[in-house]
Structures are given as structure tokens and as C-alpha cells.
Amino acid sequence: MLRLEGLRAGYGPIEALRGLDLEVQQGELVCLLGANGAGKSSTLRTISGLLRPRAGRIVFDGAEIQGRDPSDVLRAGIAHCPEGRRVFPYLTVRENLAMGAYVRRDGAAIAADLERVYAHFPILADRRRQAAGTLSGGEQQMLAIGRALMARPRLILFDEPSLGLAPTVVETTFEIIADIRRDGTTVLMVEQNARLALRMADRGYVMESGRIVLSGAARNLLADDHVRAAYLGG
């Protein structure tokens, strides 16, 4: 479904991605691991069009999408759930969810999807008129996920979904992501909790200094000595 070939991108003189190669098959949950500054978030930002690549190709469902505007990438079927939730704090919960569907024009289907999101996240239904900035961190994460689902994506990019959340909320968040994948949506996830991410993933990639240095089945990475020492606490 998604293929990155020789992808290079950066910020001014700093090169964040240095010839990145990566694949995600339809229906998979793939996790991207690495230390802070390895280029994980830059990878997702480049895929979604927020960061323009300097070289290389991004192929989604057979079509090249590198360099496209974020709205075009969203229309193609890729939604980005960013690090730190990035909800619109002064808009209501319902208005935030509506923003997730801003590239769509199928009003009846949007209304049906909104009800599905409310059914999946009852707390959002209860607080639909509440300003998003007044929600707890876990509720904002649910809102960010619901907003991404409103685009009806075929691939969702999750960037550190557990960041800043209480342990019990982290478990709930990962259960939601697993449900999304079981419902047929492909997932590429950057996550600091490597153990939890690998336990639910099909495959994983390890990044260092803007490059992939290790990849394989998630169960094999869980048993890999380098991964265990660097990311799993021994």
C-alpha cells in the first residue's frame, strides 16, 4: 500500500531523512522505532505532505504522492494523527470532528461517520458541545483519533499516541488502535513504548540518524538483542 524509496528530507541545513526505504502492506500495523531525533516524526510528516522531500519517492496505492499538499494526501486516503494531539482548543468536540472531514463533500455519509465515532467514543458524544481544550489528555487523544477517522482513511499515521498519557489511558488508546486495524484500516505508528507497539504490530522498523538500520517481524524484533538493549530495557 505504501512504499518509501530513497526518501530524503530536512529542515534548513539539517537532513532528517537520509535515503529512507520502508514498506507497509495493506491491512498491516507497522511500528517505527528509534531514539529522539532519529527521524521518526519527520518520516510521518513527509508522507502526509507537511514536510516536502528533497529526493526519493513516496508511492501510495501505486501513485506517487511525494511533494503533494497535505489536503491532497488526505484525499488520497492517508490521515495523520500527530504527536501531542493538536486539537483545536477553542472549537467544540463536534467542530473538531467536522474538521476531520473537511475534504469530503458527501454530507449524509459524514453524518453517519460522526455517529459511528460517537458510538466508538461515547465520552465524545457526551461532550460534543464542550471546547476541546478543556478535555483531559486521554479525551483529547480520543478526539484526535476520531478526527482522523472522519476522513475515512485507508492508512492512518499515528505519531506517539501514548505520549503524556496515564498508563491506564495508554492501554485504552492501544486497544482503540488495534480495533481500527481489525476494522480494515492500515496503520503506520511511531511509538515510544516499544514493547507495547511491537506486541500489537505485524512488523517493525528501527531508525537511527535518518536511516533504517533494522527491520523484521515484530516478534523477531522483540527478541533481538540490540532492540532489547536500546528500547526494551534489557
What pLDDT, on a 0 to 100 scale, did the predictor assign at position 103? 87
CA 201 to chain CA centroid, Å, is 13
Cα angle at 205 between 144 and 211, to 5 degrees?
105
Give the structural domain span for 138: 2-231
* Confidence check: pLDDT of 204 > 80: yes
Q: Find where cell 480520543 sits.
A: 142
Q: How many CB atoms lie within 10 A of CB 162?
A: 21
Cα angle at 70 between 5 and 118, to 5 degrees?
115
What pLDDT, on a 0 to 100 scale, did the predictor assign at position 165? 78
What pLDDT, on a 0 to 100 scale, did the predictor assign at position 67? 92
Mean pLDDT, the chain, rounded, equals: 92
* Confidence check: pLDDT of 145 > 60: yes
* Confidence check: pLDDT of 234 > 60: no
pLDDT digits 0-9 by tens, 81-94: 988 778 999 999 99
What pLDDT, on a 0 to 100 scale, did the predictor assign at position 201? 95
What pLDDT, on a 0 to 100 scale, did the predictor assign at position 115? 93
- Count of domains for the chain: 1
What pLDDT, on a 0 to 100 scale, did the predictor assign at position 63? 96
- The mean pLDDT of 128-151, rounded to a whole number, is 92
List the CATH number of the domain containing 143: 3.40.50.300
pTM to 2 decimal places: 0.91
What pLDDT, on a 0 to 100 scale, did the predictor assign at position 233? 67
What span, in angstroms and rounded, lies between the C-alpha atoms of 109 and 127? Answer: 22
The runs of H, that is alpha helices, within the chain are: 40-47, 70-76, 93-100, 107-120, 122-126, 137-149, 167-182, 194-200, 218-223, 225-231
* Confidence check: pLDDT of 173 > 90: no
pLDDT digits 0-9 by tens, 7-61: 999 999 999 999 999 999 999 999 999 998 999 999 999 999 999 999 999 999 9
Q: Is 36 helix (H, G, I), strand (E, B) or coil?
A: coil
Are the beta carbons of 82 and 177 closer than 8 angstroms?
no
* Confidence check: pLDDT of 197 > 70: yes
